[in-house]
Amino acid sequence: MSTNSMTSRDRYGGREYILLKKITPHYKFYQNLVGLTLASHFANAKPNGSIKVLEIGCGDGYTSRILLDSDPRVSLTAVDISRERLSLVMENFGAELSSGRLRIVLSDALTLMELMADRTYDAFASAATLHNFDKRYRANVISQTARLLKPGGLFINADKFAVDDPLEHAQHLQWSLDMLNQFDRLNISELKASGFPITRADLLQLKQTWHDHFLEDEKPDIIQHERAAIASLIQSGFVDIRVIFRAQVDAVLTAVRAKCPE
């Protein structure tokens, strides 16, 4: 039976992520790297075929848009456990949904992955999702990903990864907590004009929610260490593992499914 620990932490139905994007300086850049990496991995491969991509935790489709725009051959299956967020994807991806380039599935990620056939996908992509899972669930997602990817398939995760050095990690965490002070300076009228009506009291509450969320990410059964993530990929049969970007707590990890059993 698959379990995850994230939904109970997900109190604002996704609104909190819109504001986090606004205040994190590298957010756009590290998300765009997901698309660039996918495009460059398949630049000289599959000249006539589609690139089948599985995305876990698509949310409102921010990363899905990057994946779909990265290469016209991408055919994306995007999974999320939140009906509310998938309804936003339905509003914003009408053309891709009707053409069949995008398929969305309302499900717990692991439950769905366990039902899928071996070697179905050319790539697995995820952003800002896996770090929320508990370690056991996350390890199961990685081993299912290895099973679902074709040999030579690509793994990309733009996510929160703690560095090994505790002092350096503590500095990164403090940076994240300090960054939340920008919530105090967000302009309520501008947010309202951009379709995000929120009161000052809501903003303060969101700031506190993120503060709590960041501390919860530190719990021993949740924290995603870069070194452990790499070890889990190696154990599941991935090679060519790289950290292609890091800014404070965030990093982008890529790996390739080994062509034959290691």
Ligand X SMILES: C[S@@+](CC[C@H](N)C(=O)[O-])C[C@H]1O[C@@H](n2cnc3c(N)ncnc32)[C@H](O)[C@@H]1O
Interface ranges with ligand X (CB under 6 A): 4, 6-7, 10, 14, 17, 56-59, 62-63, 79-82, 85, 108-109, 127-129
- Tokens representing 223 are 């924290």
Closest distance of CB 42 from ligand X, Å? 20
CA–CA separation, 126 vs 20, rounded Å?
17
CA–CA separation, 69 vs 78, rounded Å?
14
Closest distance of CB 243 from ligand X, Å? 18
Closest distance of CB 259 from ligand X, Å? 28
Measured from the CB atom, the residue of 58 and 102 that comes closer to ligand X is: 58
Closest distance of CB 68 from ligand X, Å? 13
CA–CA separation, 112 vs 96, rounded Å?
21
Closest distance of CB 65 from ligand X, Å? 10
CA–CA separation, 81 vs 85, rounded Å?
8
Measured from the CB atom, the residue of 57 and 153 that comes closer to ligand X is: 57
Measured from the CB atom, the residue of 63 and 232 that comes closer to ligand X is: 63
Measured from the CB atom, the residue of 32 and 182 that comes closer to ligand X is: 32
Q: Give burial (CB, 10 Å; 0-12/13-18/19+) of 128.
A: buried
| Whole-Å CA distances, 190 to 186, 193, 196, 204 | 8, 5, 8, 17
CA–CA separation, 157 vs 212, rounded Å?
23
Measured from the CB atom, the residue of 3 and 171 that comes closer to ligand X is: 3
Only one residue has tokens 């179905």, namely: 120
